[in-house]
Structure 1
Amino acid sequence: MYPIMLDMTNKLCVVIGGGKIAYRKVVPLLKAGANIHIVSPEICDEINKLWIEQKVKVFLKEAEKANYEHAFMIIAATNSKEIEINEQIYKNTTENQLVNIVSDQEIGNFHIPASAVRGRLVISVSTGGTSPALAKKIRNDLLDQFDESYEGYLDFLWEARKKIKNSTISRTEKSNLLFELAKEKYKNSEIERNKFMTRLQDV
């Protein structure tokens, strides 16, 4: 598997299924700005709320090829355990579509890691479908290590990096400043961050 961070802004993502599992897949896609269509004869209360709020489009029917043939991403999250249904969905897709079959990682061409977000920090853990439970445990362990303080730290790094990249100083000077940003003192001290940003006003 090839790890990647995808820009899902306005990309058509079709989620087949309307239960709690489907809802859990929809939430991070909404945060990523995807254009989400949900296809299912029935939907849970949480998805219905998103529909009422016009955050997703819902088609109350069994999924057909026409519902997802133009989708950038397809997630089959039905409550059905019939493998034939999931296999048929995958067979109806093209080689250029991203397909995740929640109930069987071997059928689709990508799977979704256990993830968590701390501001600009994204922590994702995958066991290649071997043990989702272990992936979640490792993710939670990492969350204990990278606490909420990293949100402010990464915002600082983002702003500082932009200023350095846009400055008129030499490439060597930029490299030196970017290297300095990695020092531990900036992670633990807002005073040091403010000093650094003050220095950047003169570059």
Structure 2
Amino acid sequence: MYPILIDIQQLSVLVVGGGKIATRKVCGLVEAGAKPTVIAPNFSEALHTANKNGTVLLRERSFQYGDTAGFQVIFICTDNAAVNRAVLNETTPRQLVNDTTNQHNSNFFNMALIKENDFAIALTTNGKNPRKTKQLKEKIRSLLKRITLE
């Protein structure tokens, strides 16, 4: 893997799923300037709110063949193995795909990000142990609070 930062505002983003993980991904995408399309039969309250605010486009239905066409970045965030396989089966090598349920199906991973006023620290276990990454992120955040940065 090669770490990079992407101007996500310039890319078309699809999130398949409407639950907790999808919501977390969408919130991060919106914060970075993306306006993702989200496909799911049901959505969290936060996603409904984001839709009302115009920061996401919700398609309240099940995933259908052809839904990945035209998207450059795709997040698979469902707990339905058949849906996840269907999404993967129609993606192409030219699309960035993150399967949050099986990182072996992904060609990119998100890094945990600690943002301060004028810098950011990104952490990763290369998709192998997100829980460990989260723990390390909290320890570093706690350490930063104790030291004075000029």
Match of 2:79 in 1: 79
Equivalent position SS for 1:33: coil
Match among 131, 134, 138 for residue 132 of structure 2: 134
Match of 1:15 in 2: 15
Match of 1:200 in 2: none
User: Which structure would you say has the larger Rg?
Assistant: 1
Match among 99, 105, 108 for residue 107 of structure 1: 105
Shift of 1:88: 2.6
| C-alpha spacing 1:21/1:114, structure 2 compared with 1 (3 Å) | same
Shift of 1:97: 0.7
- Structure holding more helix per residue: 1
Shift of 1:149: 5.7
The yes-or-no answer on 1:36 pairing with 2:36 is yes
Q: RMSD in angstroms over aligned alpha carbons?
A: 1.7
Q: Please tell me the residue identity of whatever aligns with 1:102.
A: T
Q: Please tell me the residue identity of whatever aligns with 2:84.
A: N
With normalisation by structure 1, the TM-score equals 0.68
The yes-or-no answer on 1:6 pairing with 2:6 is yes
Match of 1:96 in 2: 94
Asked if structure 1 preserves the Cα contact closer than 8 Å seen for 2:103 and 2:128, the reply is: no
The yes-or-no answer on 1:68 pairing with 2:48 is no
With normalisation by structure 2, the TM-score equals 0.90
Asked if structure 1 preserves the Cα contact closer than 8 Å seen for 2:65 and 2:86, the reply is: no
Asked if structure 1 preserves the Cα contact closer than 8 Å seen for 2:123 and 2:133, the reply is: yes
Q: How many residues align?
A: 149
Q: 99-108 or 130-139, which moves further after superposition?
A: 130-139
Shift of 1:119: 2.6
The yes-or-no answer on 1:45 pairing with 2:45 is yes
List alignment gaps of at least 5 residues for structure 1.
151-186, 188-203
